[in-house]
Amino acid sequence: MFSYVVKRLLQMIPTLIGVSILTFLMIHAVPGDPARMIAGPEASAEEVAVVRESLGLDQPLYVQYGKYVSHLLQGDLGTSLRSERPVLDEILGRFPSTITLTVMAIVVMVVIGLFAGIFSATRPNSLIDNATMMISLFGISLPVFWLGLMLILLFAYYLNLLPSGGNDGFRHFILPAIALGLSSSAILARLTRSSMLEVINQDFVRTARAKGVREKLVIYKHTLKNAMIPIITIIGLEFGTLLGGAVLTETVFSINGLGRFIIQSIQFRDYPSIQGSILFVAAIFVIINLIVDLCYGLVDPRVKYD
């Protein structure tokens, strides 16, 4: 397993290089001039040119990328053009809020989606099963930002039970976590149902029932355990997606997290912050995929690591 982990970690290098190149080219293709934004709308062309030269933006793209990579190899993600602080400090200052939101959303997703999928799979083609799948389809179709606004309107405005935004404490993350988790739970519910239906009619499950094993043990010990690999896969993918895709949710709920930082950096054309944030999220996503692959061996001993 150790050699497998080392191999996967080494595979991160070309992946992150590819991400850095694509990000670098895409942000330079977006209209807008960070030098003009820093100098101000009233600045003359000469003043803007001086700012552009001081930032190194007047140099060819390959020279700019070479300097970026050389700093990156030293652990330096650059300096934010907007705040003039190290990008890594900006990211680490906001990452706790984003990871808190993501973990809470995953909890909502697993609690609702997993049990809804199990409940539906044990009653196939029943009225409850059809209703659960209809609700999950409705949940997948709902835009997260719209659901967030509706939760604010109900629980913060009308009922005054929870704060509408911010990241000052646990209560501030409840509504955004529900908004993020509900959509993902709908996906997990449908996948859990289909995965369990593939397992529940296999011979070893019928054998367990024929031996008189209690139904709960049949469902949770035999069926669910053997249906866990696709479930673990979707949980890992959703964790990475939520980590990098909480942009709209953090904006709606005014959470000072990584997603909101990326939006602000894009609006300001803050190239170092955009590149550093996306590279950071990409690295976390790759590590999460590695953890997911290692979890396969825990639920299924037949999985071998070469």
Query: pLDDT by residue (tens digit) across 44-76?
Result: 778 888 888 887 878 888 888 888 888 888 888
**Contacts with 94 (C-beta within 8 Å, 6 or more apart), sequence order:** 256, 257, 258, 260, 261
Mean pLDDT across 127-142:
82
164 three-class SS: coil
Interatomic CA distance for residues 176 and 100, integer angstroms = 11
| pLDDT range class, residue 106, cuts 50, 70, 90 | very high
Please state which of the ranges 95-99, 208-212, 275-279 shows the lowest mean pLDDT: 208-212
**The model's pTM:** 0.84
Domain ranges of the chain: 2-72, 94-299
Query: Which one, of 292, 284, 240, lies nearest residue 5 by Cα?
Result: 292
Give the pLDDT confidence of 255-303 residue by residue, as tens digits.
888 888 888 888 888 888 888 988 888 888 888 888 888 887 777 666 6
Mean pLDDT across 10-25:
86
Report the CATH architecture of 94-299: Orthogonal Bundle (1.10)
Report the residue count for the chain: 306
230: pLDDT strictly greater than 80: yes
| E strand spans, the chain | none
Q: Determine what percent of the chain is predicted with pLDDT higher than 70.
A: 96
pLDDT value at residue 306: 61
